[in-house]
Amino acid sequence: MGLPTFKKGIHPNDNKSFTNHKPIEYLPIPEEVFIPLQQHIGVAGDVLVEKGQEVKTGQVIGKSEKFVSAPVHASITGTVKAVDQFLHPLGIKATMIHIEKTAEEDEWETINAPENWETASIEDLRNLIWQAGIVGLGGAAFPTHVKLAPPKEKEINTFILNGVECEPFLTADHRAMLEMGDKMLIGMSIIMKILGTENGYIGIENNKPDAIEIMNELVSKKFPAFKVVPLKVKYPQGAEKMLIEAIVKRRVPAGGLPMDVGTVVNNVGTALAVANAVVEGKPLIERIVTVTGQGITEPKNLMVRIGTPFKTLMESCGGLKESAIQVYMGGPMMGFAQYDMNVPIVKATSGIICQEKSDIFKKKTYPCIQCGNCVSVCPMNLLPTRLSSFAEMVKLEEAEEFGILNCIECGSCSYVCPSNIPLVQWIRVGKLQVSESKRKKVA
Amino acid sequence: MDFTAIIIAMASLGGLGMIFSVGLSIANKKLHVEEDPRIAEVIEELPGANCGGCGLPGCAAFAEAVIAGEAEISGCPVNSDEGSQLIAEIMGVEVTTSERLIARVICQGGDYETAKKGVYQGVKTCIGATFAGGGDKLCSYGCIGYSDCVESCPFDAMYMNDNGLPVVINDKCTGCGNCVEACPRDIMELHPESHKLFVLCKNLDSPKESRKICTRACVGCGICVRLAGEGNMEMQDNLAVVNYDIYGSDPVLPTEKCPTDVLAILGGQVIEEKQSA
């Protein structure tokens, strides 16, 4: 029997050899940072600072009292230069706080961590995670304290730590597991204490044998309750619904959440951030970013402050090559193309990928030949070809009936389409239109 | 040859036919619905394009609404004044003629004028581009240029020019407003024919910013506002706005004073000439 995995999915070339052997480098504290108020799913915070104010590293500068939100913190010690609209890596203008560095050394403003987390109350721990502004660092940026507060009727019996990193090119989670595995497992223990579950799994794809080995070693030494599960290499295994299917063989119902099958999934980076917050009292002000691709002179894994402009990272990697023509934030399958290198690193930035002309195939689109390739790879068992044409024809009711809202936008359908139809792009447009029209109906 | 089988078949089928025909004729009498004959007459006088410009699903629905007194006789934006007059005659009332509306393109940022972000490879419709960063132009207020409005026009009254901007053929435009609905950036606007003065820009960026991204952007200098005089025009968020209630129908403004050529006096085919220039 082979290694566990989920049904369907694709096998893109993983391209991880650019950076998977390179230790994480700490980028020097940047001269300036731009911190967007909204870096998470949910309500954007209100600005708590004003122009000219001095801020310390870790100070809360944006916060909302709403439950589904996360505060943002100053990531350097300096002066607030402006609170204005700047370009966000998602291609929109958003309110950001521009801070200029004044001190070479960090002056910290930490959160009140308990002396011993093992005796702290669950409520306190959850509150601490909220204060630290922790969101899902895998890319979706869903506030973690919300995920860790499932409604009473949903009994959570399984926790999965997501070390899959199925997007090609990215190696940030891989390096974190190798270098900070110990702390990460403490974070996992904290999360499991909050959830009150005993079953902890760590899912890692088989293309990271060194990470599996190190994790196994740590688990057998200190955390015997956890189980490391090597997985067959396949995309999109890092999507939480697929990972649940692969490890515990449960299928999240359509329109449901992982908690409906008694499971919670968190990224390894998130567990690390939880440990930092609870054990050391450090809010989420930095993250690991993989800067990679054929188009960058020296690919690296960097630990950077949130809000650092892209160009600062690129300079430290030797800059873009002449031949580079496209830069993405995130992985190549689900990332966002960028046109301005002044955009900042946000909590959801897992990587910056710089591609050369030869990597990008601008192919002609042909009509659908009804081959069914997209149907056979869709991990959510949808019909991408139907959904995309419904979206194209603005047939929103039909699209909803065919389950367009269940699409996880993994892009597998577009990847396999022999006619180069922009399937996932259309489905995304359709999804947004459907949810918009639903919102209008409610209002 | 035995004819009985044929006779039995004919008799039984004939009998069945008789029974059903009696049933049908009773149903016809009993379930008869009185339809106003005027509905058909009104439909005759309507354009029949089923464009939806009146807000109802097609011309027949509009005709019914008119008969029921739920819609204005002049509620069809497409119908000519004579058409409305004929409907009014059918209804036996007087009609007040409404002014003809024309769709206007409130943006001059074509491919030549605007600065670009890069190459856009997503789906080539305006609504699709809106959800994916907003196309390849840097301006986040202007025309995206993927012709959703032209596609939506049921009267062939629009086309895309060489500069990647939509053009309204004034004579063909019926003012149904489909293009206004289709545009995700609100570039298309319906204006009465009497509105002559236009600020052909929607950009609210700071003057410094807008100067960088488009050579035909309103930079908020305020020259037009000073020339037009108090109350006739005003500046709102870096954009000059005409107060159409009291001004704009008979302007005597020297539009060439506008430094970025945003201010225009439009009428007839001028819009087309100006935009393809």
pLDDT surpasses 50 at B273 = no
Does B132 sit within 8 Å of A425, measured CB to CB? yes
Each residue of A301-314: pLDDT tens digit? 999 999 999 999 99
Q: What is the pLDDT of residue A242?
A: 92
A212 and A143 inside one domain? yes
What band does A268 get if pLDDT is binned at 50, 70 and 90?
very high
Q: What is the pLDDT of residue A266?
A: 93
pLDDT surpasses 60 at A88 = yes
pLDDT surpasses 60 at B270 = no
Q: What is the pLDDT of residue B139?
A: 87
- In angstroms, what separates the C-alpha of B129 from chain A's closest C-alpha? 9
Cβ-Cβ contacts under 8 Å, B127 against chain A = 394, 429, 433
Cβ-Cβ contacts under 8 Å, A393 against chain B = none
What band does A360 get if pLDDT is binned at 50, 70 and 90?
low
Q: What is the pLDDT of residue B271?
A: 46
What band does B269 get if pLDDT is binned at 50, 70 and 90?
very low
pLDDT surpasses 70 at A1 = no
- In angstroms, what separates the C-alpha of B111 from chain A's closest C-alpha? 18
**Residues A312 and A195: beta-carbon distance below 8 Å:** no
Q: What is the pLDDT of residue B275?
A: 47
CATH of B37-91, one of 1.10.3720.10, 1.10.15.40, 3.90.79.10, 2.60.120.620: 1.10.15.40
A168 and A300 inside one domain? yes
Please count the other Cβ atoms lying within 10 Å of the Cβ belonging to residue A144. 30
Cβ-Cβ contacts under 8 Å, B133 against chain A = 90-92, 336-337
Each residue of B202-219: pLDDT tens digit? 888 888 888 888 888 888
CB nearest A422 (choices: B123, B127, B134): B123
Q: Which of A327, A361, A395 is the last residue of a domain?
A: A361
Chain B nearest-CA residue for A388: B123
Q: What is the pLDDT of residue A361?
A: 63
A166 and A308 inside one domain? yes
Is A330 domain-assigned?
Answer: yes
Q: Which of A309, A330, A361 is the last residue of a domain?
A: A361
pLDDT surpasses 80 at B254 = no
Calculate mean pLDDT across residues A321-338: 86
Q: What is the pLDDT of residue B211?
A: 86
For chain B, which residues make up each domain, given as ranges?
37-91
Q: What is the pLDDT of residue A407?
A: 92
Residues 351-370 of A with CB under 8 A from B: 362
**Residues B54 and B77: beta-carbon distance below 8 Å:** yes
Decide which of A332 and A371 is more confident: A371
- In angstroms, what separates the C-alpha of A425 from chain B's closest C-alpha? 7
User: Containing domain of residue A138, as a range?
Assistant: 1-26+110-361
What percentage of residues in chain A have a pLDDT greater than 70?
99
A116-130, A252-266, A394-408, B33-47: least confidently modelled range: B33-47
A125 and A197 inside one domain? yes
A7 and A138 inside one domain? yes
Q: What is the pLDDT of residue B175?
A: 85
Which of A84, A339, A343, A424 to substitute to test the interface with B, most B CBs within 10 Å?
A: A339
Identify the sign of the CA torsion A400, A402, A404, A406.
Answer: positive
**Three-class SS of chain B:** CCCHHHHHHHHHHHHHHHHHHHHHHHHHHHCCCCCCHHHHHHHHHCCCCCCCCCCCCCHHHHHHHHHCCCCCHHHCCCCCHHHHHHHHHHHCCCCCCCCCEEEEECCCCCCCCECECCCCCCCCCHHHHHCCCCCCECCCCCCCCCCHHHHHCCCCCEEECCCCCEEECCCCCCCCCHHHHHCCCCCEEEEECCCCEEECCCCCCCHHHHHHHECCCCCCCCHHHHHHCCCCEEEECCEEEECCCCCCCCCCCCHHHCCCCCEEECCCCHHHHHHHC
For residue B116, CA distances in Å to A174, B110, B157, B213 come to 37, 11, 28, 8
| H-helix or E-strand spanning residue A305 | strand A300-305
pTM: 0.80
User: What is the spatial distance between Cα A367 and Cα A356, in angstroms, rounded to a whole number?
Assistant: 28
| H-helix or E-strand spanning residue A96 | strand A93-101
This complex has an ipTM of: 0.71
What band does B97 get if pLDDT is binned at 50, 70 and 90?
low
Q: What is the pLDDT of residue A78?
A: 92
Q: What is the pLDDT of residue B268?
A: 44
Which of A87, A327, A362, A425 to substitute to test the interface with B, most B CBs within 10 Å?
A: A425
In the 8-state DSSP scheme, what is residue A17? G
Cβ-Cβ contacts under 8 Å, B118 against chain A = 326, 337, 339
Decide which of A170 and B273 is more confident: A170
What band does B265 get if pLDDT is binned at 50, 70 and 90?
confident
Is A56 domain-assigned?
Answer: no
Is A34 domain-assigned?
Answer: no
A186 and A248 inside one domain? yes
Q: What is the pLDDT of residue B242?
A: 86
State chain A's mean pLDDT as an integer.
Answer: 89
What percentage of residues in chain B have a pLDDT greater than 70?
94
Structure-token match 């950077």, residue found = A304
Each residue of A422-432: pLDDT tens digit? 899 899 889 98
Calculate mean pLDDT across residues B66-92: 81
pLDDT surpasses 90 at B128 = no
Domain count, chain A: 2
Q: Which of A361, A383, A418 is the last residue of a domain?
A: A361
Does A429 sit within 8 Å of B132, measured CB to CB? yes
Calculate mean pLDDT across residues A246-267: 90
A345 and A402 inside one domain? no
Check which CATH number belongs to the domain holding A299 and give it. Answer: 3.40.50.11540
A189 and A321 inside one domain? yes
pLDDT surpasses 60 at B277 = no
Calculate mean pLDDT across residues A103-128: 86
What band does A29 get if pLDDT is binned at 50, 70 and 90?
very high
A123 and A175 inside one domain? yes
Is A367 domain-assigned?
Answer: no
- In angstroms, what separates the C-alpha of B146 from chain A's closest C-alpha? 14
Each residue of A141-200: pLDDT tens digit? 899 999 888 888 888 899 999 999 889 999 999 999 999 999 999 999 999 999 988 889
A227 and A291 inside one domain? yes
pLDDT surpasses 80 at A102 = yes
Q: Is A92 on the interface with B (CB under 8 A)?
A: yes
pLDDT surpasses 70 at B138 = yes
Does A93 sit within 8 Å of B132, measured CB to CB? no
- In angstroms, what separates the C-alpha of B247 from chain A's closest C-alpha? 34
- In angstroms, what separates the C-alpha of B88 from chain A's closest C-alpha? 36
A295 and A338 inside one domain? yes
Is A263 domain-assigned?
Answer: yes
Calculate mean pLDDT across residues B110-119: 84
A424 and A338 inside one domain? no
What band does B245 get if pLDDT is binned at 50, 70 and 90?
confident
pLDDT surpasses 90 at B227 = no
Does B127 sit within 8 Å of A433, measured CB to CB? yes
Q: Is A393 on the interface with B (CB under 8 A)?
A: no
